[in-house]
Structure 1
Amino acid sequence: MKAALIPLVASTLVTSVAAHATFQELWVDGEDAASTCARLPANNNPVTSVQTNDIRCNAGASPAGSVCSVPAGGTVTVEMHQQPGDRSCANEALGGNHFGPVMAYLSKVDDAASADGSSSWFKIFELGYDSATDTWGNDLLNKNCGKQDVTIPSDIAPGDYLLRAETIALHTASQAGGAQFYMTCYQITVTGGGSANPAGVKFPGAYSPTDPGIKVDIWGNDFNEYTIPGPPVYGS
C-alpha cells in the first residue's frame, strides 16, 4: 500500500489541517446545482467519533436553502474540495495522503428541508481499495476534480430524501479514534421511481470504532485488502 509514502506520514500529520475538505456541490444529470441544496458543515474539519449525531450530516451543518429535484434512475455527482467555494482542479479534493473509501447513502424523510438524519439510511454507492492498482476511492476523487457520480436507484419510492456523501481518511486509523470522517447531506426530492423502501441503518449505530474498515493500519506491510464499513449497497 503506497509503501513509498510511508516516510511522509509524520509530515502529513503536521499539515493535515490544510488537507481537510468538505463535499460542497451537487450536479443532477450533468446540471450544476452548486451548493444550493447542500447542508454545508461549519468548517472543513473531520468528524472523528462514530458515536455522536455529528456522524449523520457533519458538525454544525444547518438545513440548506433549497431542495434539488432528482429523477429516480438519474445520476447525481457529489463534489468535494478543501476550501469553501474553491472548485479549482489545480488543488486536490482531499490532499495530504488522506487515503480511504467513498460512499453514498439515502434516507427517506417527510421533509428534506427539516429532517435531522435520525431516520434509516441505505447505502447506494461505495468505492474502496483496489489492491491491483493500489488505488483508493478518494484517489479517484482527486483525479476527477473532486467529483464522484452516484446513480439514484430507479425503483425507490418518490419523495423527499437526504443524500449523504462520505469519505473516510485512514492515514492515522491504526489508532483508536484515528479515522477521519468527511460527510455532507444534500436535500433532494426523488421523482418517478417505484415503490421500494429499502431497509437501512441508523447513524450513529451503523459504524463501530473497531470495525475493520475504521480501525485499520493501511501502512502495514501485510495490508492488501480493505473492508468498507456499513451495510452492503442496496440492490447488490
Structure 2
Amino acid sequence: MPGSNSPVTNVNSNDIRCNVGGTRGVSGKCAVKAGSIVTVEMHAQPGDRKCGSEAIGGAHYGPVNVYLSQVSDASSADGSTPWYKIFADSWSAKGSVGDADNWGTNDLNSCCGKMDVPIPADTPDGDYLLRAEVIALHTASSAGGAHVTGGSAKAAALPAGVKLPGAFKSSDPGIQINIHSKVSNYVNPGPAVIASGTTKQAGSGCSAGCAKTCAVGSGPVGTAIGSAPKPTSGAGGGQSGCAQAMYQQCGGQGYTGCTACAEGLTCKEVSAPYYSQCA
C-alpha cells in the first residue's frame, strides 16, 4: 500500500508511476491467468475499508484507469518500463454540470472501493506491474505486482506503451478542467485502452460481477508468489467523529456533509463557491 494518501500533483514526478515510495517494489507476486479478472481496491484514506465510507470521497470525481507494464521481475521493478492501458471507467453525461455526471469514481464508490478488471486474454506470459489510478482531476493512486500465466505461445505482441512520467501534461484537457460547469465531452488522460482491453461505461455501478463481492473480505482470495509483507496503514487515515481528513470536501454550494477538518487542517476554498476542502 502507498505510504501516503496525499495526491500526486506533479505529473513529471516518478511518484506518478506507483505513488510515493512505489519505485521500491514489493516482495510478493500474485499469480494471474490471462483472460481472468483482477479486482483492484482503492480508498483515499489508508486503513479505512468500511463500505459505509466513500472510497474516493469529498466530491473527487474522475476516471478510473488500469495499466500493465511487463518487467523482468515484478518484485523489484521500479515502474520505469513502458505502460499500456487495459481498462478505463471514465465519464458519461448525466447532469447539468460535471459534478452531477457519471464518473468512474462513482462506480468505485458504489462497489466499496472495488473495480473488476479483465486481464486481456492475449497477454503474453511474464512478470508485470499492474497500476490502478484514480484521477481526481488532479492526481493518481496505487500499484502492485503480478505474474501473468496462461497466455498462448502465439499471443499478440506486447502493446506499445508510454513512459511515466511523460504520458501526462498538467494542461491535458482531461486534467485541466472545471467540472463545476457543464461538461460536453471528457478526454480521459493518457493513452487509449488497447484493442483487447476493457472500457466500462461510467454510471454502470457494480455491474459485470463486482456486485457479488462488494463487501470487504467477501471476494475471492488470490495466492501470492513469495512472502508479501502485511499491508500497513499510511499517514493521514480516517478521522473519528465529524472531522474531514486532508483533501476531503468540507464545504461548497449544495454541500450538506461535515464541515469540520481534522486537527491541523483548515477548510479552504478551492473553487468558490462550489468546492472547499481540508488542507
TM-score, normalized by length of structure 1?
Answer: 0.76
The one-letter code of the counterpart of 1:102 is V
Q: Quote the Cα distance in structure 2 between the aligned partners of 1:213 and 1:232.
A: 13
Give runs of aligned pairs for residues 10-89 of structure 1, distance below 5 A: 40-61=1-22, 62-89=24-51
Query: Is 1:229 aligned to residue 229 of structure 2?
Result: no
The one-letter code of the counterpart of 2:129 is L
Q: Quote the Cα distance in structure 1 between the aligned partners of 2:194 and 2:75.
A: 24
In the other structure, the counterpart of 2:141 is 183
CA drift at 1:128: 1.1
Q: Quote the Cα distance in structure 2 between the aligned partners of 1:212 and 1:49.
A: 16
In the other structure, the counterpart of 2:64 is 102
In the other structure, the counterpart of 2:108 is 141
Q: Quote the Cα distance in structure 2 between the aligned partners of 1:138 and 1:95.
A: 9
Q: Deviations over 1:183-221 (max 9, x none)?
A: 21110000011333111100011111111001111112x
Q: Deviations over 1:160-183 (max 9, x none)?
A: 00000001112xxxxxxxx1x232
In the other structure, the counterpart of 2:76 is 114
- The structure in which a higher percent of residues are strand is 1
Query: Is 1:92 aligned to residue 59 of structure 2?
Result: no
In the other structure, the counterpart of 1:126 is 88
Q: Deviations over 1:13-44 (max 9, x none)?
A: xxxxxxxxxxxxxxxxxxxxxxxxxxx22111
Gaps of 5+ in 2: 96-100, 197-279
Percent pairwise identity: 53
Q: Quote the Cα distance in structure 2 between the aligned partners of 1:106 and 1:204.
A: 15
Q: Quote the Cα distance in structure 1 between the aligned partners of 2:46 and 2:26.
A: 15
Q: Deviations over 1:104-139 (max 9, x none)?
A: 000000000011101100000011111036210001
The count of aligned residue pairs is 187
Q: Residue 229 and residue 235 in structure 1: after superposition, are their counterparts in 2 closer, same or farther (change >3 A)? A: same
CA drift at 1:64: 2.3
Provide the secondary structure at the position in 1 that maps to 2:141: strand
Q: Which has the larger radius of gyration?
A: 2
Query: Is 1:156 aligned to residue 123 of structure 2?
Result: yes
Decide which of 151, 171, 184 is 1:193's aligned counterpart. Answer: 151
Q: Quote the Cα distance in structure 1 between the aligned partners of 2:48 and 2:134.
A: 19
Q: Quote the Cα distance in structure 2 between the aligned partners of 1:93 and 1:121.
A: 25
Gaps of 5+ in 1: 1-39, 171-178
Indicate the larger mover: 195-204 or 160-169: 195-204
Provide the secondary structure at the position in 2 that maps to 1:169: coil
